[in-house]
Chains A and B, each alone.
Chain A
Amino acid sequence: MRREAIAWERAAEVHAAARGWRRTGAIDEATHRRIHETFPDPCVTPGAVWRVLTGGMVAAIVLCALAAMALSVWRSATEIQVLLLLWGAACLVATDVLEASPRSARRGAAGVTSILGVGFFLMGLGLVLVETVRLRGDDAVDVLLVAAVLTCGLAAWRWGSPLFTGLAGGALFCALARLPQGRLLWLLAGAALAGAAAGRLDDGRLAPSHRIGAAVLTVVGIGAMYAAANVYSLDEGLLEHLARLAPVREDLPRGARLAAAAATALLPLAVLAWGLGARRTFLLDTGIVLLALSLVTLRHYVQVAPLWVVLAVSGALLVALALAVERALRRARAGELAGFTAEPLFSDERRQQALQIVPVVTALTPEARAPSPEPGFAGEGGRFGGGGAQEKF
């Protein structure tokens, strides 16, 4: 990243914190203004809606222009390959120019051009490998995965995008899965990546976005370890399906299933313990998701009760657990327990509440009634819903 871009990001971090302090009334307007004067941020930073709108429109312009040119010049496959590579290069140059200016760096356009640029480049490269160089399918996939690791890694390093960091991590593990002993490599590389990235989470020499990238890599590493260790993944050979050669079903080594079962149970707990000990919420969130996956795995192997019992009981337990945690924190001295609190602190509670309306409405609204003519009620059919469930009976 450019030195000035890192400085802008650092100032933006301070501004974001100051906004939180001001929102909760912890500082007055005059103090807020003085903080802005002490840490000037020259970047124009529109809100999320403006950034999405700008990004969406830039994407529409780039894609429409590319499609128009492709339809005009399409005579052979080579022309499309050249066009994709040129368009990709143009998008990447545009990203670098946009990122260099404080007026355009945070408007949402640079993010979209970088994604399109990398996408066009990889698509163009894929077509070159298959149609011009005439590589075999497996070889082309291997080269493309290595190219994806390098391209996304470079983009993450240059522009600090956590999305590219995650994509580079994902491509790396896909590439590793294609090697012999892919599962073992996932375990080792996942542990190494999570350990190395976790060590840089609070490194003040890194740009703020690179520190977020380190958090993303930590999650990717943990996820890879879990995917390799999960007993269902082992039984079904999920990772082996990504390998170059079709998987050969061999007898698993003695104790491997037992070790995998133990890892399926213990890894989420270890991540939760790590999150609690280090007081990192992203690790807590990861641990909760992994624990849910482990419970689903358990349900797959051990069917102790019908599905509706499992769903209802686990739902009731989750609600009870959340209520108990909230109650314990609320009743604790000064509203905190071991450094945790249920208070929003300086986060934007109102915004979070507004955002939660979308998943609630999407998942829990009853299905729309059938359009006219009104069919009347037949009695023997229909749907029951309203609770996220839509079952025929």
Chain B
Amino acid sequence: MAHGGAPGSRDVNPDVVRAIARLRAEHVLSAGQADLFARVARRGLVSIRFEIRALLYAGVLLLTSGVGILVALHHQEIGPLVIATGISLAAAACLLWVARRAAPFSWAEVTSPSVAFDYVLLLGLLLLGSALAYVEMQFTVLGPRWAYHLLIAGVVYLLAAYRWDSRTALGLALATLAAWRGLSISLVPAATLGPGVAADLRASAIALGALYVGAAALSARLGRKAHFEEVFASAGLLLLLGGLLSGVLDDHRAWDLWLVALLVVAGGVMAVALRLGRSLYFAAGLVAAYIALVRVLFVPFRYGRHADSIPLLLAALLGSVVLGVIFWAHRRMRGR
């Protein structure tokens, strides 16, 4: 490897370059280590992996959008059989490419053979999903149970995620299965499952969320694709806590029961998160509990002169308590 920095520039990260020189002089780093680290710090060697990933992602997005528009605008001119065959062949080509390059199946984490692998797999799965949707739309194979094509797509994505060890495909599978039950996985569950949400949607969210959380626990406990745990658990907690929260915010007759259920579940999630050292799960439980408790604060102050200001002040005080809990939990997790 050649040494030296980028042409016409000084150090990319002068602090790290200076530190490497000192660590080498004090024999903390060997000469070989220091040379490699200094070369990267001086921008003599630069990784463009992120840029390659971004190009692949944008390419997949554009390509699938183009196919979608083609089908939408020209399906009558081209003919349904040609379209279905064309998309299926393209999907098969992508999946064949993936199958030929994939490492043998393992329950442990498998390193991708190349940076493009995940994206070609993603493209193949999306085209396959589009083909399924199109065939169902044109030929009504499933009849009145047309929505089951989402279940089929979700299961195919799930199988692909396990076979080719892709957390991206797993995320897509979980979101597609949620879509089959009429749910959107979003970062703001209260917004999507908020006012006006149907009771069956809420029940679906809670059931599916519990199922995903259970799958996360099983993945970790059995050591079968244990690294899928965080994808399962994140999606599951969004649905589970979002469903319970929508009950607190939206069900005016039984909101108190929903509140108890939410606090119990959120407390359990936070306790488990503390034990396992998972900050994201702890955050999900805490935020859900805080939002639910803020709703309670507004109930006794519906009328009167300070109907708005007192609950807001109490919400601020409650926030201070929650802030204390955050500091305590962080200290405890760091200690572990």
Q: CB within 8 Å of B: which of A348-382?
A: 349, 352-354, 356-372, 374, 376-377, 379, 382
By the criterion CB–CB under 8 Å, are A279 and B6 in contact? yes
Instruction: Give the distance in Å from the alpha carbon of A76 to the alpha carbon of B125 in the complex.
Output: 60
A298-313: CB near B (< 8 Å → 1, else 0) gives 0000000011111111
Q: Could you say which of B12, B46, B279 contacts A202, with CB atoms under 8 Å apart?
A: B12
B110 at the interface (CB under 8 A from A): no
A interface secondary structure, majority: helix
**Listed residue (A317, A387, A388) with the most chain B CB atoms within 10 angstroms of its CB:** A387
State which residues 41-60 of A face B: CB under 8 Å: 46-47, 49-50, 52-54, 56-58, 60
Using A318-B59, A387-B65, A388-B64 as known contacts, say yes or no to A356 and B53 having CB atoms under 8 A apart: yes
Pick the contact of B286 from A53, A69, A316 — CB < 8 Å? A53
Contact A307 B46 (CB under 8 A): no
Please give, as numbers and ranges, the residues of chain A lying within 8 Å of B81 by CB-CB distance.
Answer: none
A168 to chain B minimum Cβ distance, whole angstroms, is: 24
- Check A369/B55 contact, CB under 8 A, given A26-B37, A308-B70: no
Which residue of chain B lies nearest to A10 when distances are taken between CB atoms in the complex?
B15
- Near A by CB (< 8 A), chain B positions 236-292 give 279-280, 283, 286-287, 290
In Å, the complex CA distance between A371 and B312 comes to 35
Question: Does A253 interact with chain B (Cβ within 8 Å)?
Answer: no
A132 within 8 A of B: no
Smallest Cβ-Cβ distance to A392: which chain B residue: B72
User: Contact residue range for chain A?
Assistant: 35 or more
B56 partner, pick from A312, A322, A358, beta carbons under 8 A: A322
Indicate if the CB atoms of A17 and B1 lie closer than 8 Å: no
CA separation between A319 and B117, bound complex, in Å? 11
Q: Given A202-B11, A278-B8, A353-B168, do A358 and B187 touch, yes or no (CB 8 Å)? A: yes
For residue B306, give the distance in angstroms from its CB to the closest CB of chain A: 7
Q: Is the CB of B65 within 8 A of A389?
A: yes
- Tell me, yes or no, whether B41 is within 8 Å of chain A by CB: yes
Enumerate chain B residues within 8 angstroms of A248, measured Cβ to Cβ.
none
Interface flag for B214 (CB, 8 Å): no
- Per the bound structure, the CA–CA distance linking A392 and B75 in Å amounts to 12
Q: B107 at the A/B interface (Cβ < 8 Å)?
A: no
A38–B23 touching, CB < 8 Å: yes
Contact B62 A312 (CB under 8 A): yes
* A346 to B37 CA separation, bound complex (whole angstroms): 9
Name the segment of A223-231, A256-264, A280-288 touching the other chain: A280-288
| Stretch of A119-127, A133-141, A323-331 at the chain-chain interface | A323-331
A386 at the interface (CB under 8 A from B): yes
Interface string of A3-31 (1 = CB under 8 A from B): 00000001001100100010000110001
Query: Does A57 lie within 8 Å of B63, measured CB to CB?
Result: no
Query: Does B326 contact A57, Cβ atoms closer than 8 Å?
Result: yes
> Using Cβ atoms and an 8 Å threshold, which residues of chain B touch A14?
15-16, 19
Contacts A17-B13, A288-B55, A364-B172 known; 19 new A-B pairs at CB < 8 A: A56-B287, A60-B319, A67-B312, A72-B306, A277-B7, A307-B66, A318-B56, A326-B52, A342-B115, A353-B167, A361-B172, A361-B175, A362-B186, A369-B181, A371-B182, A387-B65, A388-B65, A388-B68, A391-B73
| Top 7 closest pairs, chain A to chain B, by CB | A389-B68, A387-B64, A312-B66, A315-B63, A315-B62, A204-B14, A311-B66
11 of the cross-chain contacts (CB-CB < 8 Å) are A26-B37, A61-B319, A201-B9, A311-B65, A312-B66, A315-B58, A342-B115, A356-B53, A361-B185, A386-B68, A386-B130
Interface residue ranges, B against A (CB under 8 Å): 1, 6-16, 18-19, 22-23, 26, 28-29, 33, 36-37, 40-41, 43-75, 114-116, 118-120, 122-123, 126-127, 129-130, 133-134, 136-137, 140, 143-147, 150, 153, 167-168, 171-172, 174-176, 178-187, 198, 200-201, 230-231, 279-280, 283, 286-287, 290, 306, 308-310, 312-313, 315-316, 319-320, 322-323, 326-327, 330
